[in-house]
Amino acid sequence: MPRRRALPDGLDPRVAEFVEQLRRTVERSGLGVAELAERTGYGRPSWERYLDGRLLAPKGAVVALAEVTGTPVDRLTTMWELAERARNRAGARHERATEAVPVTPARGAPGESCPGESGPGEFGPPPGEPRRTGRGRGGGSGPGAGRTPMLLAGLVGVAVVVGGAFLLGGGGGPQRTGGGGAPSSPGPSAPSAPPPSGVLCAGSACTGRDAEETGCADSRAVTAKTTTVGTTVVEVRYSGTCGAAWGRITGAVPGDSVRVTVGSVRETGTVTAASDTLAYTPMVAVRAAADATACAVLASGEQGCTP
């Protein structure tokens, strides 16, 4: 098996310990990533992310790895549970810190001092450039000497603005469009910033896609809502990076299902493998985690939803 890359900086120690255990388990088995993907049913790109520490493996993948490598499943799943809790705590701290960042008003906003009233350092000359004393080329130093260049500059600026408006307006008349005088519509909005490296979708492009495969279920994802139905935990998982949510159940049995609903959009996931205790839905785009609801329908007939 090729040498793995170094784990990402800042990874929680519990998560790092779990990833190192995954690596040792795979190395001892002698399986390549392609063969591992074929035997476990989880894609090769996913296993690359799991083993590089870019994405926490789901419990189903951990159980499948234990089965194909002959590793005691309890040890791996216990370490996974500790890593999962640590990741959720880190995600919650990150979200609280983001919400607490103060907004600093821009300098020069209405109501702040204008250039003529500023003290030293405010709107002054750049560092290293001498401050002008107000002496003109004729050497005058009276109270109004320093204002003359400013007045002239202001008049020139006004003339430029008026001249530009005259030219753009077609000689001073009202500006018209080719559509019979209706004002032109605003241009297209600027494209949103691209998602971070390893994240493959954002917003509506995530609807219907797998949170694990797209990188949305990385360490920044958090549990936004949770409830318990019988012994099964139901969660709304949310990625602020992707602007999407999905439903997840753990402690489940075959036949249990989970669905996530946002408005009229619904996605569903079901536990099918006899050895699996986890299922999650495809994602649905959301503006806020509060917009999503996750519900479980158990094979026993019990049902329940997150608040």
pLDDT tens digit string along 235-270? 999 999 999 999 999 888 889 999 999 999 999 999
Q: Are strands 278-280 and 265-270 parallel, antiparallel or unpaired?
A: unpaired
Arithmetic mean of pLDDT, 180-209? 66
- CA 191, CA 83: separation in Å to the nearest integer? 36
Judge contact between 31 and 39, C-beta under 8 A.
yes
Structural Rg of the chain based on CA atoms: 30
Does an H or E element contain 69, and which? helix 59-69
Tokens encoding 7: 């784990």
Tokens encoding 171: 């000689």
pLDDT digits (tens, 9 = 90+) for 20-79: 999 999 999 999 989 988 888 888 888 988 998 888 888 888 999 999 999 888 888 888
Does an H or E element contain 157, and which? helix 147-168
Place of tokens 């241009």: 187
pLDDT value for 96 = 52
| Secondary structure class of 77 (helix, strand, coil) | helix
Judge contact between 246 and 267, C-beta under 8 A.
yes
pLDDT value for 93 = 55
pTM reported for the whole predicted model: 0.45
pLDDT digits (tens, 9 = 90+) for 1-20: 456 778 888 888 889 899 99
Residue 130 has pLDDT above 50, yes or no: no
Judge contact between 289 and 95, C-beta under 8 A.
no
Tokens encoding 123: 């709107």
User: Which residues are CB-contacts of 306 (< 8 A; sequence separation ≥ 6)?
Assistant: 225, 226, 227, 234, 235, 236, 293, 294, 295
Geometric angle at alpha carbon 246, from 226 and 256, rounded to 5°:
70
Judge contact between 231 and 253, C-beta under 8 A.
no
Residue 207 has pLDDT above 60, yes or no: yes
- CA 85, CA 81: separation in Å to the nearest integer? 6
- Of 90, 125, 109, 101, nearest to 219 (Cα)? 90
| Secondary structure class of 269 (helix, strand, coil) | strand
pLDDT value for 229 = 92
User: Which residues are CB-contacts of 145 (< 8 A; sequence separation ≥ 6)?
Assistant: 134, 135, 136
Place of tokens 């099918």: 272
pLDDT value for 11 = 83
Residue 137 has pLDDT above 50, yes or no: no
CB atoms closer than 10 angstroms to residue 118: 13
Phi, psi of 250 (to 5 degrees): -130, 160
Computed over every residue of the chain, the mean pLDDT equals: 73
Judge contact between 190 and 62, C-beta under 8 A.
no
